[in-house]
Chain A
């Protein structure tokens, strides 16, 4: 994927760009708001990483301008802790996701991949399928290898999120945000227990596991044929 990073802090900029190229992606850099807007308007990107506070033109203005110009490139907003952390404001102005500094690179990458992938599948779906696991989004039923699996509502939402992003790493924070809709830091890994219950229901007794733990980062739902 091709990503434009608009960030005035050189260290963060290098850190993200280096991480992206090490993961096999292409990263373009812009160190101030105006340059960032220019590149974003001119180039073709799969995703943008935009810092909120920028010299010249601030991040939210860039996003508003891009959206006004009809650009739909997914945008991940970066915000430093200590700044007014107005996630809602950022998302309302056209950002697609929000990440607070300091962050782990794996978290950023996972989110970017989800954002870039989302563009491909914007058509409304009625069925999700990963390997022999199937979810009917209308009747909210799940089967694996033809066998019905009973899930609690929250487990269903958890599985749906994992299936929508199959083959991608989903971090615990992302799950809290997307499945539970809370932005907070649990002091214990509450998510792990939920995932292991889900895992017990959809993997136990079947030929191969679909839910994989990505150590230090999060989880991934993956068919055995798929690779990261």
Chain B
């Protein structure tokens, strides 16, 4: 994973947006803290000045000019130089006492305060004084103030502290965002890599799953399942087209040979019939394929109606009965009364008939086929059991797919579509088909086909 990829990732961008939002709100908060603190400090300073003026004015009233002068001298001597400013002048602004050598050029604000530069030596930065002039009775003037240097220094310290705090906050948020999005980016990168491989043709590729849980993991599991489904479908399509090519080529070639023999006049009328029946078989195969495709598309569901399965099973038995007898086989029917399902009557008939056809093809002479209809609480089971050679357990799923034929049944007629149609019909009806050994035979394993449908 490259850094560029990380920076471009959506999770990192999201983290960045959060950091920005967070930063802006932190700046707002810190600005407010600064503003209110600075304000408070200034107010405190102003109140101190006011208190001092009031105190000095009282002193003047009680002890006169001499007492005030003493007081100021005391205060000037006690305080560190520069931090407090006092100046007492006569009516012509000639200094009497204090630590300013002359009355400054001042303009007062509405609250009576003024600010002016202090010349406390040549050092930079220049100190600014904040002071309040006061006219004493008797034509004297008093100026009390504070050097604001301390205040400014404190304020700039506050700004520095708050800025550091802000920088730390944003930095931590950024780092957190990076760390968090790195994990996400790695997972999404893995998904991207897997899909690159899939697009390049490796359909068996899966996204490695982690153990962290959460929505991305859930997505990964779903994507993997989708890929499996896709692989199965593509595999199915490939197998079907292979089979079509393979299984239909043979009868087409036979048909062609017959037609050629006819053209050369070397064949009898029989040959025409053979050719026609060959063509019929091909058409029937295509019709079966199309029918399965159409059933799988699900559009027949629109025509679903209540189907009397009891009558349908009776009809199947009645239609196939003579054929079964003809072949010296036996059909044992166990029908249950009043069983209905929601479905397509013709499709269901076709499905049961296909399984029965299949059972007839594969049972030995004097074989026995059972046709059962039974009802469970919520499902209906059509069971067709025979005493033929059965289907090995590992082939049972395959015979439900198109064109799959057991090696042992290569010689019997059929295109390998019968059971796949049954599976398609069952699925159309939200049911299932299950193949198993027939436990009620004594010799051969037999085959038991269970078509399970939701009961109406």
* A contact set with B: CB distance below 8 Å: 81-82, 84-86, 88, 102, 104, 154, 180, 182-188, 190, 193-194, 197, 215-216
Contacts and interface: CB of A to CB of B under 8 A. Distances in A.
Given A184-B353, A185-B350, A193-B323, A216 B287 contact: no
Interface string B376-419: 00000000000000000000000000000000000000100010
Given A85-B294, A215-B273, A180 B319 contact: yes
B322 A188 contact: no
A201 to B, nearest CB: 12
B287 A81 contact: yes
Contacts of B357: 186-188
B424 to A, nearest CB: 14
Nearest to A84: B299
Interface stretch (B5-13, B193-201, B221-229, B275-283): B275-283
B354 A187 contact: yes
Contacts of A193: 322-323, 326
Interface residues of B: mostly helix, strand, loop or mixed? Answer: helix
Contacts of A183: 346
Contacts of A154: 318
A214 B303 CA distance: 35
19 contacts: A81-B287, A81-B290, A82-B290, A84-B302, A86-B303, A88-B303, A102-B283, A102-B287, A180-B315, A180-B319, A183-B346, A185-B284, A185-B291, A187-B414, A187-B418, A188-B361, A190-B319, A194-B319, A216-B273
Contacts of B286: 102
A184 B283 contact: no
Q: Find the residue from B277, B284, B353, B361 having the highest chain A CB count within 10 A.
A: B353
Nearest to B297: A82
A193 B283 CA distance: 23
Q: Please name the 4 residue pairs, one residue from A and one from B, whose CB atoms are nearest each other, closest first.
A: A184-B350, A193-B322, A187-B357, A193-B323
A215 B350 CA distance: 25
B186 to A, nearest CB: 47
Contacts of A185: 284, 287-288, 291, 350
B345 interface: yes
Contacts of B326: 193
A182 B360 contact: no
Given A185-B287, A216-B273, A216-B277, A190 B350 contact: no
A192 B284 CA distance: 18
Contacts of B283: 102
A184 B294 CA distance: 14
Contacts of A216: 273, 276-277, 280
A194 B320 CA distance: 9
A187 B280 CA distance: 12
A186 B355 CA distance: 11
Contact of A184 (B276, B280, B349, B361): B349
Interface string B254-295: 000000000000000000010011001001101110110110
Interface in B333-386: 345-347, 349-350, 353-354, 357, 360-361
A81 B320 CA distance: 27
Interface string B67-94: 0000000000000000000000000000
Nearest to B276: A216
A102 B287 CA distance: 8
Contacts of A86: 303
Nearest to B357: A187
Nearest to A106: B276
Contacts of A188: 323, 357, 360-361
A182 B346 contact: yes
B287 A190 contact: no
